[in-house]
Structure 1
Amino acid sequence: MRKVPKVPDSRRYLLGALAGFTLASRWGGALARTLLPATPAQTSGPFYPKLRPLDQDMDLTVVAGRPGRAKGQVIHVTGRVLDSNGKPVPGARIELWQANAGGRYDHPDDINPEPLDPNFQGFATQLTDAEGRYRFKTIKPGAYPMNPANPVNVRPPHIHLDVVAADQHLVTQMYFPGEKLNSQDRIFNAIKGSKDTVIARVIAPTPDIEPGASLLHFDIVLA
């Protein structure tokens, strides 16, 4: 009977290592493809509300007890809070604050000469549902100079978001697509990696959206 030659230990180890490397690479690549890029952290800025409004519901276009509506283009911002594997994060607390349509915050340190809007809530908070979903109705904030006395650097329209879920905490900003000021903004340009992670997408309005309003989708991925 012909003897089957033995594979040297070194060669057997090499073949096993290569097979393991191939398998690990295949699975590693598959796992890497499933991970979502985390939403980058950004500064909360100097205008986080010092005095929160009594009305903090999801509709910022009206203030409880006032008959008017906020000035500006009405937008609905919807999305989900997800983990890096794409799983929804239920019960995450989201705080939202922003400037009004004139680019003015309801904050004592904002020296922007644009007037305040008494019908604009400016701040809201809610918890994500069982599917990690959230939704706010607001207005598109106006751009504003970082220093009104020297209006060279103008911040693009953006919305601040503070997200807390279990032991995770993220402060970020949502930007609008197609804004020329985005590429000129120092805070926006400081983002490492893809900047698409902080730009909302305009999607087709649902039947419950009022005429003239826009619907934007913005997912928040926690690292």
Structure 2
Amino acid sequence: MMLRRVASGLMIEKVRVTAMGEAPALLWFAMRAPLAALWRRRKPCYGLQRVEQRGGWTMRDNQYHRITRRAFAGSALAASIALTGAAKAADKMLRPTALGDLGPFYPVERLADEDADLTWIKGHAKRAIGNVIEVSGRVLDRHGNPVQGADLEVWQANSVGRYAHPNDTATASLDPDFQGYCQIRTGAGGDWRITTIKPAAYDSPIGRRTPHIHFDVRGKSQRLVTQMYFSDDAASNAADMLYKGLGDWADTALASLDGAAKYRWDIVLMDG
């Protein structure tokens, strides 16, 4: 069905509003009842006449019927309310976390210890070198629902910017007591937490990399590879080519300070 008001050039129809997700359905159901009532009140009119200032026309099966200004305004109002409601629903949706680069140093040689504490390796006598930090958050879908049972792989450089990877030929020293990698799974509330060392910046073929941690997240229906950055490294972040490349999405990859040596970062998947 299509409504057309010739006098003003206004047309209302079932529309596609992809940016709003559910907007088409909301709009159609909101308009359905007013339009049905309007159709029941139609008066037959033979031939296409000049549109009067107070009314418009509806078309179905090549038959034209008068629409009063009041009836048309009612349908337009219903459409407006539906679109407004859909827009508000879209505004409440969370922004998905930005995609990141896997990087050249995904671990190929792993330790037997892959737990959530990267600062201690089982059987070692001492802790890793560097500033110990705690990073925690949740894995959510874009509606804010927690994603239980999501698998996270986490890896990073050590306190002097060196990866335990054969392709990292930097002159910075390795730390034999730093685990550098872990595998964890989210709980009922989508929660996750790791204890690690604050990674250092380092030079790379694409320029100096700001401190960051790599994440490979596997939810129920989506996989996300991304990199997490630190909010208290603003100057270093601004000079990092990959961080700058995120543009308006950079804030979705930024962990915020949540106390002394604690950071908070929620990971948002499109569909969980």
What is the aligned counterpart of 1:184 among 239, 244, 269? 239
Report the RMSD for the aligned CA atoms in angstroms.
Answer: 1.6
Instruction: State the alpha-carbon separation in 1 of the partners of residues 229 and 80 from structure 2.
Output: 41
Task: Say how many residue pairs are matched.
Answer: 206
Hey, which of these two has a bigger chunk of strand by percent? Answer: 2
Shift of 1:10: 6.1
Equivalent residue, structure 1, for 2:128: 70
Provide the residue aligned with 1:40 in structure 2: 98
Give the superposition deviation at 1:215: 0.8
Partner Cα separation in structure 2 for residue 218 and residue 112 of structure 1: 29
Unpaired segments ≥5 residues, structure 2: 1-42, 44-54, 56-65
Higher alpha-carbon Rg: 2
Return the offset for 1:14: 3.1
SS of the residue 2:237 aligns to: helix
Which runs of structure 1 show a deviation greater than 6 angstroms over 4 or more consecutive aligned residues? none
* Deviation digits for residues 132-151 of structure 1 (CA, Å, limit 9, x no counterpart): 0000000100100004xxxx
Which residue number corresponds to residue 218 of structure 1?
265
Q: Give me the whole-angstrom Cα distance separating, in 1, the residues matched to 2:71 and 2:121.
A: 71
**Amino acid aligned to 2:238:** S
1:194 CA drift (Å)? 3.4
Say which structure, 1 or 2, has more relative contact order (CA 8 Å, 6+ apart): 1
Higher helix fraction (1 or 2):
2
1:162 matched residue in structure 2: 216
Shift of 1:29: 2.2
Q: Deviations over 1:42-82 (max 9, x none)?
A: 10100000112210000000111111111111000000000
Determine the structure 1 residue equivalent to 2:167.
109
Q: 1:41 to 1:194 in 2, by over 3 A?
A: closer
Unpaired segments of 5 or more residues in structure 1? 1-5, 206-213
SS in 2 for 1:135: strand
Percent of residue pairs bearing the same amino acid type: 42
Match of 1:15 in 2: 73
Per the alignment, residue 5 of structure 2 pairs with: none
The counterpart of 2:225, out of the listed 150, 153, 171, is 171
C-alpha distance in structure 2 between counterparts of 1:66 and 1:132, whole Å: 31
Q: Secondary structure at the match of 1:138?
A: strand
